[in-house]
A and B are shown apart, each in its own frame.
Chain A
Amino acid sequence: MSLAQWSITVLWIGLTLYALLAGADFGGGFWDLFAGTSRGGRPQRELIEHSIGPIWEANHVWLIFVIVLLWTAFPTVFAAVMSTLYIPLTLAALGIIVRGAAFAFRKASDELGLQRLFGAAFALSSVLTPFFLGTVAGGIASGRVPLGLAAGDLLTSWWNPTSVLGGTLAVGTAAYLATTYLCADAVREGRHELAEAFRRRALVTGIVLGAVALGGIVVLHTDAPRLFDGLTHRALPLVIASAVAGVASLLLVLRRRYLLVRVTAALAVTTVLWGWALAQYPYLLPPAATAGVTIAAGAANPAVLSATLIALGVGAALLIPSLLWLFLLFQRRDRVPSTP
């Protein structure tokens, strides 16, 4: 593999981790929004807050990683994406701010009115942010972002059938991932009635998500023929794997095998993301009205790519053990009965 290919691979790993980890966080906010009245929904909200709390900060870093790596390794593509998709990205950035701040504030405030206000801001931005990020993915995948500064249409580049599909899938995936985590957390805490509630939601979301994905095939066929072509040819094995993993996780939810569901649900998301990458390979910005940009053509200077990759490698050697310690500490915490 070339340095440029290594770079995009590492970037895509970061994107996958962001989708899986932060995706579940966004989904937590989604269910917070639909948890009902402040009294009735309290146990659910507490569970959500409890599952998100400790590791939220760490999950969030993946997005920054993706952005920084994109501008370092593929600067012209970064500039094209950011300038053309200025509107949804600004909205997503604002959503991230509101979400993070509101979550921290809600945790720190002890008055019901304030908690409700911050809670609503947290929940709403948790739904809107993944939606806008999904529209960005749709705009790129359907070839609506040409090279150059704000060279694409500022509105239709992200408000089009593929983008709306992308946004909907992003929200749905986040919600679904969250239910699988929440079910397992609820069982571990011995809150079986909560686990059952989230199990029902997991089933409904899973079925809806599957239906949207199927319908999406029709949308892509007309709106993004190149992407459709890639998905049904080169990336077909991954698409099938995703469908299989999706069905398998529904069956596992039915049988209440929550820990295994995490694996299959994660697999379903991962295969979709890598399927997309494979479908538009070797393009970063796929051609449509204008010539696209390939990975090789968009790549930065090799000296930059190698320095960055080496730095990331050294960083990973520091990060992985620390991250493991963090996760171990929290898993252990849940097994020890909480000491007063």
Chain B
Amino acid sequence: MLPLNGYLMLTGCVSHRIAPAGTSPIDLLAAREQMAISLGWHIILACLGVGMPALTLFAEWRAVRTGEQAYRLLAHRWAKAMGVLFAVGAVSGTILSFEMGLLWPGMMSRYGQVIGLPFALEGIAFFIEAIFLGIYLYAWDRLPPRQHLLSGIPIVVAGVCSAFFVVTANAWMNQPRGFDLTNGTVTAVDPWAAMFNPATPPETIHMILAAFMVTGFVIASVYAVALLRGRRDRYHRLGFLIPFTAAAIITPVQIAAGDYAARFLATNQPTKLAAIEGVYHTGSHIPLTVTGIPVGDQLRYGLEIPDGLSLLVGYSPSTVILGLDRVPAPDRPPVGVVHLSFDVMVGIGFAFLLLGIWLGLSWWQRRDLPRSRWFLRAAGVTGIAACCALEAGWVTTEVGRQPWIVWGQMRTADAVNPAPGLVVGLVAVLAVYVVMTIGTVSVLRRMARSHRLVAATPDAGAGGDR
């Protein structure tokens, strides 16, 4: 059992504390992994659900304005892919709302009412999104072009709203507000104060920007691969340039938003920041450590920038940073996972920035993509990289919150379903997700391939793929 226990400690699962009677550590671990897998899966689809309608509408708007075939074709194809992605995203979201109760009844029993409102609002937003998506996808030639374009706008607005609402619930888990607790039961509740808790602005801004970045880079990377294979017509160039430019423009804004999120942690969740940066001891002149692994109570083998963290947080090397030693050992999140996933996210963010600058320079000089094939090769992996940054960010946030499920109020181990056999559920969910992943990818690839066949036959217009 030693390796398992080691793993549990590593992920902050037991953190020297015995789970309540009834839940074995294995079942607790299974519940957390199941939640992580289903959320990690859903979030990618959700990001595409938020971002794709905007890009599709942009292409359709250009098509209406210029009458150019390439734009029309892009809008049609993105819309078709959006239909599949939305359906899969919706079902993967449905299972999440089940899991809130199936896996974490302890949290929902006490706090379900506190975070209920944003989820109810989210439900309305989803519903609007689904209705207008239905109209948009199926009424392409039943509505005049301008009306059809307008019918897409509610999809964009509702998508952004739903991302906002759901992330406020997560923000509440980090900064629980808006309720009174008497003897373990929630008495007075102010659902609006719970929704607009202090963590809401940094988290929602960062998340919504991430959704657009992920969408932009994922789509762009598909076309980058096509360009690399020599399909350099206007359709493919536009298919690359529109989403890539959008995402590249958002990147610096996102870095600023991430900086804001980190600064917020310094004042509001110092223990999480300490885990993110591997700060074990409170003090001034704290360095910024890039990569590195925790050994004993320090980060080893990393690149240290002297006074870096103190400077970043307070613009002065004498800024005091609160370390993990401020809280008792059982209340500390695991440093290794949190620190490394944070570095992955930030590293990818800055890599995107460089890539955007590369394109910007080349465009400024000669109104064209960089000549080097390395640019397209790098652009071809931005999709996967963006998804990695997204997942890494969520791991930072969620594992950095451990051992709390509701920061400072309720431990994850006290929230989990005490029923035995959660491991079996994990295995079943895992199997379904593997199959669903293969299915989604292969269907999208098939779709792309049949589009290519259609495009190869002469005079296949925009209607040809429908």
The chain A residues found within 8 Å of chain B, CB to CB, are: 53-58, 60-61, 63-65, 67-69, 71-73, 75-76, 78-84, 86, 89-90, 92-94, 96-105, 108-111, 118, 149-150, 154, 300-301, 303-304, 307-308, 311-312, 315, 318-319, 322-323, 325-326, 329-330, 332-333, 339
A100 adjacent to B91 (CB under 8 Å): yes
A200 CB, nearest partner CB in chain B, Å? 31
Binds A, one of B135-143, B203-211, B333-341: B135-143
Task: Give the contacting residue for A76; candidates B83, B109, B189, B428; CB below 8 A.
Answer: B109
A303 touches B189 (CB 8 A): yes
In the assembled complex, the Cα of A301 lies from the Cα of B179 at a distance in Å of 10
Asked whether, in the complex, the Cβ of A61 is within 8 Å of the Cβ of B130, the reply is: yes
Cβ-defined contact, A101 with B135, below 8 A:
no
A118 to B84, CA, bound (A): 14
A149 touches B105 (CB 8 A): yes
Q: Which residue among B92, B93, B128, B420 has the maximum number of chain A CB atoms within 10 Å of its CB?
A: B128
A150 pairs with B417, CB closer than 8 A: yes
The 10 closest A-B pairs by CB, nearest first: A72-B116, A82-B101, A79-B109, A75-B112, A100-B91, A315-B124, A300-B113, A79-B105, A104-B87, A71-B112
Q: Is B381 an interface residue (CB 8 A)?
A: no
A78-B109, A108-B443, A303-B190 known; A93 and B120 CB under 8 Å? no
Per a CB cutoff under 8 Å, which of A109, A149, A311 touches B417? A149
What are 28 of the A-B contact pairs (CB < 8 Å)?
A53-B138, A57-B133, A58-B130, A67-B97, A71-B100, A71-B101, A71-B116, A72-B113, A75-B108, A75-B110, A75-B111, A82-B101, A82-B417, A92-B98, A94-B432, A101-B91, A101-B439, A109-B446, A149-B417, A150-B417, A300-B112, A300-B116, A301-B113, A301-B189, A307-B192, A318-B128, A326-B131, A333-B142
Identify the interface centre among A81, A89, A301, A329: most chain B CB within 10 Å of its CB.
A301
When distances are taken between beta carbons in the complex, the residues of chain A under 8 Å from B37 are none
Is the CB–CB distance between B108 and A78 below 8 Å? yes
Asked whether B131 lies within 8 Å of A323 as measured between CB atoms, the reply is yes
Interface hits, B131-188 → A, CB 8 Å: 131-135, 138-139, 141-143, 154, 186-188
Give the interface centre of A76, A149, A303, A319 by most chain B CB atoms within 10 Å.
A149
Q: How far is the CB of A88 from chain B (nearest CB, A)?
A: 11
Known: A72-B120, A89-B98, A93-B99. A78 touches B112 (CB 8 A): yes
Rounded to whole Å, the gap between the CB of A18 and the closest CB of chain B is 12
Chain A contacts for B141, CB-based, 8 A: 339
Shortest Cβ distance from residue A78 to the other chain B in the assembled complex, whole angstroms: 6
A78 CB contacts on chain B under 8 angstroms: 101, 105, 108-109, 112
Contacts of B417 in A (CB 8 A): 82-83, 86, 149-150
Residue B88 CB within 8 A of the other chain? yes
Write out the residue numbers on chain B whose beta carbons fall within 8 Å of the beta carbon of A68.
97, 116, 119-120, 122-123
Question: Does B87 contact A94, Cβ atoms closer than 8 Å?
Answer: no
Q: How far is the CA of A255 from the CA of B462 in the complex (A)?
A: 46
User: Contacts A60-B90, A61-B123, A83-B417: A319 and B112 contacting too (C-beta < 8 A)?
Assistant: no
Query: In the docked arrangement, what's the CA distance between A96 and B38, Å?
Result: 14
Q: Cβ of A75 and Cβ of B113 under 8 Å apart?
A: yes
Decide: A82 and B105 in contact? CB cutoff 8 A. yes
The answer on a CB contact under 8 Å between A64 and B126 is yes
